[in-house]
């Protein structure tokens, strides 16, 4: 048995002979689906998500670049829409790699460069860049890795984030470990700087926090439900982790968030470099990645 890949006009999907599968929308190179061998979906995707290229996808793994949120005080990115243009641009499918010795893994590559951007986006952010995004499915894990290259003559600054929406059964029994004793910015409380207690993060209301985990990227951030670990996220060169759940009112206010009580079934744990700016000199490259292990 072999890895199966299908490549349509707007999507690419791949499945392993053992049954695991992924699906990626070329718009935003957004991972829409990640299923285990039994067909169980691991990502949350809104039933109201726009998948036709008119709006960033609500769910899956949208890619944030070159700005996290908006940055009115950062001149170079101040005109960009929330979370930048990568999630609103059509990417190119660059092909697959599979290992010949094993059919237990497949890697799909996607590219976006300044040349592919529409004129409007190019006007808002005039730098020359290349993005290479690799999505690797294994039997037990999903890895998403982004390489950002400065292909122009002047340096630029950026932020980036892998905005993963995890599917869970009930947010009230979810905890996130690995963020203990870590500094964070609380976006729900006037962007105050706070420090996590020595307990895991639990949810009882709207949550929107930018953590810089004290133990560093290689120490896993673990999402558990009812005391059992479900996902373990290991980061590479991405110092921050955003934790987000919109809860009742924010979900109600998002036109593409369906069903309206879907906030109970999702939690975002987003690996990124967002608490400061990364500077890329001419010709330099930055690589950041996350690997999500199923537990």
Judged by the rule CB under 6 A, the positions of this chain that interact with ligand BG6 are: 56, 69, 82-83, 163, 187, 208, 242, 244, 270
Cβ neighbors of 110 (< 8 A, separation 6 or more) are 24, 26, 29, 91, 92, 93, 94, 132, 133, 134, 135
Label the pairing between strands 228-236 and 285-294: antiparallel
* Closest of 68, 67, 46 to residue 55, by C-alpha: 46
Instruction: Give the residue with the Cβ less far from ligand BG6, 109 or 125.
Output: 125
Min separation Cβ 274 and ligand BG6, Å? 8
Look at residue 229 and give its three-state secondary structure.
Answer: strand
Min separation Cβ 62 and ligand BG6, Å? 7
Min separation Cβ 208 and ligand BG6, Å? 5
- Give the residue numbers marked as catalytic: 163, 270
Min separation Cβ 115 and ligand BG6, Å? 26
Instruction: Give the residue with the Cβ less far from ligand BG6, 136 or 160.
Output: 160
φ/ψ of 211, rounded to 5, equals: -90, 145
Instruction: Give the residue with the Cβ less far from ligand BG6, 136 or 203.
Output: 203
User: Dihedral (C-alpha) 167, 53, 142, 176: value to the nearest 10 degrees?
Assistant: -40
Tokens 């009882």 locate to 204
């Amino acid at each position: 048995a072999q890895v199966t890949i299908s490549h349509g006009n707007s999507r690419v999907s791949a499945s392993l002979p053992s049954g695991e599968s992924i699906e990626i929308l070329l718009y935003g190179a957004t991972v829409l689906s990640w299923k285990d061998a039994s067909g169980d979906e691991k990502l949350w995707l809104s039933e109201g998500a726009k998948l036709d290229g008119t709006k960033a996808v609500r769910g899956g793994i949208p890619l944030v670049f070159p700005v996290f949120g908006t940055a009115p005080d950062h001149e170079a990115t101040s005109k960009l829409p929330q979370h930048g243009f990568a999630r609103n641009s059509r990417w190119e499918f660059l092909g697959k790699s599979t290992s010949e010795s094993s059919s237990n893994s497949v890697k799909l590559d996607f590219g976006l460069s300044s040349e592919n951007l529409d004129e409007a986006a190019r006007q808002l952010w005039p730098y020359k860049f290349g993005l290479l995004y690799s999505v690797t499915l294994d039997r037990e894990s999903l890895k998403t890795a982004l390489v950002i290259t400065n292909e122009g003559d002047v340096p630029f600054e950026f932020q980036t984030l892998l905005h993963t929406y995890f599917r869970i059964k009930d947010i009230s029994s979810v905890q996130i470990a690995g963020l203990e004793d870590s500094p964070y910015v609380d976006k729900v409380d006037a962007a105050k700087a706070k420090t996590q207690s020595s307990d895991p993060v639990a949810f009882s209301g709207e949550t929107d926090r930018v953590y810089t985990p004290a133990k560093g990227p290689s120490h896993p951030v673990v999402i558990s439900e009812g005391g059992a670990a479900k996902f373990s996220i290991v980061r590479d060169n991405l110092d921050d982790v955003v934790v987000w759940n919109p809860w009742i009112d924010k979900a109600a206010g998002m036109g593409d968030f369906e069903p309206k009580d879907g906030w109970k079934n999702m939690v975002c744990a987003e690996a990124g470099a967002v608490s400061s700016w990364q500077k890329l000199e001419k010709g330099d490259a930055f690589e950041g990645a996350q690997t999500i292990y199923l537990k």
